[in-house]
Amino acid sequence: MKKSKKFAFVNDAAEREYKDLPDKIQDEFGKDLRRIQFDEEPKLPITHLDSIGAGVIELRKNGSPAFRCIYVAKYQDAVVVLHAFAKTTNGVDRQAMNVAEQRLKELLAELKKIH
């Protein structure tokens, strides 16, 4: 049997944001996050967000509004959700990117303490 990666939210706020998404969107993101845990390709389109940090990936569900789930699967053999949100503007949502970047920094600081 294939070993799966662990799954986690970077913090309580990230979990709340995810759970505030519509059920259908949570379900779609959830299925893809599960695929990623088992080293499979997600079905939804993705964008690599190297500007935020190495290994940071955004799952995209387009529509009106569009939805995004930003995660990193590079550390501690885990898939960690950094941020999930409804996207209402065209172009880059700078505030969302800042939140994801800050949470990645917090995650990396925690990992440093462990090692």
What are the pLDDT digits (tens) for 25-43?
A: 999 999 999 999 999 999 9
Task: Provide the phi-psi class of 34: left if phi over 0, else alpha when psi is between -120 and 50, else beta.
Answer: alpha
Report the CATH number at residue 30. 3.30.2310.20
- Tokens encoding 79: 């898939």
Question: In 3D, which of 49, 52, 48, 85 has the Cα closest to residue 66?
Answer: 85
Q: Which pLDDT value is given to residue 75?
A: 84
pLDDT at 1 over 80: no
How far is 65 from 86, CA to CA, in rounded Å? 6
Position 54 in a domain: yes
Q: Write phi, then psi, for 63 (nearest 5 degrees).
A: 155, -165
The total number of structural domains in the chain stands at 1
Q: Which pLDDT value is given to residue 91?
A: 82
Q: Which pLDDT value is given to residue 50?
A: 93
